[in-house]
Chains A and B, each alone.
Chain A
Amino acid sequence: MISFDSVILRVLQDGLLAFFVGVGFALLFNAPKKAVIMAGLLGAGGHMLRFVLREEFEIGIIAATLAGSLFIGFCSIGAAHVVHTPPVVFSMPACITMIPGLYAYRTMIGVVKIADTDTSVRTPGLLTETFHNFVLTGSLLFALAIGISVGSLLFRKKSVKHLRLRGQRKT
């Protein structure tokens, strides 16, 4: 039986950390003030969703990342009306919270090890492991890109501003 409180605590901690990541990268990209906050909130939401899916439902990392980035993508369409900026301004920093840094790093270390004659001969699983990390890095990046561009892909409008709710003025 899992302890309910500790799970919520861990999810909230995860969200808080992701919030800081989103805000930090939004600042680096010179986003406007409202978009910075929105990037933090969306990043926290997406990362918390991924955390819950991975830890509690034991879904694989690629599917969980896709779910998280789709969450960010769909929410950013609605949020664009609130913040009055294009959605990519805050969905990009928000998705960077899930960037596969660790796997990219392991891929690089693996390649360096393969270049070394002694190590590459002595470690049999090295090539498999390096390639696994490489594929994982690539797939996760694609999952993030799909999440960011979902607005323009699915709705086939030129701008999310055209996606208006009922009763609003058509442009």
Chain B
Amino acid sequence: MEQTTSISHKENTERIADLLLSIGVLLLSSGSNSRRMNVNISRIANAWNCKIELFSSFTGIMVSLKDKENSNLVTKFKRVAHHGVHYGIVSQISVLSWRVKDEQLSFEEVERELEIISKMPHRPAGQIYFGIGIACASLCMLMHGDYKNALVAFVASCAGLYFRRLLAGLKFNVLICIVPASFVTSLIAGMDVLYHFGKTPESTLATSVLYLIPGVPLLNAIMDMIEGHIPTAMARGLYAACILLGIAIGMILSMMLIGFSNY
């Protein structure tokens, strides 16, 4: 009898560790920084009366969970498969962790909530295209372009985003998706340089590829660096640098096609 209860306790701790790991992986793959992940997971673990030690790198998370009541110790590891950006998930998990603390949600409730959060859909494609088109056009006008430049930037960024989403849908490598997208965008923006539609074609070229900029990994890298997560920070920084390199390669390819002398 004594034996069976201790086994079920052990199983219980393992299930909690699994759940915490899935929360952590979901956060990291949605573009949260290391501190936020640490804080959210520890908040839930403390609410359930567990002591947690957590190690996170760019590619995986390891937790060591200790139940304070019966001192069961479980150590588990889980890989982070991909790195995207989905701030809807980040904010929902933050709200969930506060609810666990304040309303004392049970294990099953959190499991159910997490199931819903992890299936949270992306915004409709139309909204994203329109938003990004308008954003790149506005950036173009902010950088001294006129409305003709902005129009070209709108078309170029939408077309490039289409290619990126197409390739991402075909499960290509993330970095491989960047090059064609940047190529298509700067090819269309290059038409502005070639035929002089607007006043400052330079601003069209510079701003229409900005939707590809790895803003979230770059800024997360700097934030992780400041807060002492050095290995994660370096990995994020390299990842962002690779994306930037991909953008540059795509732009240079299109410039070779149009001719460097025109730039």
Listed in ascending order, the chain A residues whose CB lies under 8 Å from chain B are: 14, 17-18, 20-32, 35, 47, 84-86, 88-89, 92, 95-97, 99, 101-102, 104-106, 108-109, 112, 116, 141-142, 144-145, 148-149, 152-153, 158-159, 161, 171
Contact between B91 and A89, CB atoms less than 8 A apart = yes
Chain B residues within 8 Å of A106, by CB: 206
**Interface set, chain B 26-67, CB cutoff 8 A to A:** 31-33, 35-36, 39
Closest 6 CB pairs of A and B: A24-B135, A105-B206, A27-B131, A85-B91, A145-B222, A24-B131
Interface membership of B122, Cβ < 8 A: yes
Give the residue of A14, A32, A92, A105 whose beta carbon is less than 8 angstroms from that of B216.
A92
User: Could you give, for residues 67-99 of chain B, a 1 whenever the CB lies within 8 Å of some chain A CB and a 0 otherwise?
Assistant: 000000000000000000111111100110010
Chain A: CB-nearest residue to B97: A159
Interface membership of B141, Cβ < 8 A: yes
- Among B36, B85, B142, B207, chain A packs the most CB atoms within 10 A around the CB of B142
Inter-chain contact total with CB atoms closer than 8 Å:
148
Extra contacts besides A17-B139, A30-B86 (10): CB < 8 Å: A18-B142, A24-B135, A29-B86, A30-B123, A31-B87, A102-B203, A108-B252, A141-B219, A145-B222, A148-B223
Docked Cα-Cα span, A73 to B207, in Å, equals 24
The count of chain B contact residues (Cβ–Cβ below 8 Å) is: 58
Chain A residues within 8 Å of B137, by CB: 20
Contact between A101 and B226, CB atoms less than 8 A apart = no
Contact between B135 and A20, CB atoms less than 8 A apart = yes
Docked Cα-Cα span, A171 to B99, in Å, equals 12
Contact between B102 and A145, CB atoms less than 8 A apart = no
Nearest Cβ in chain B — how far from A32, in angstroms?
6
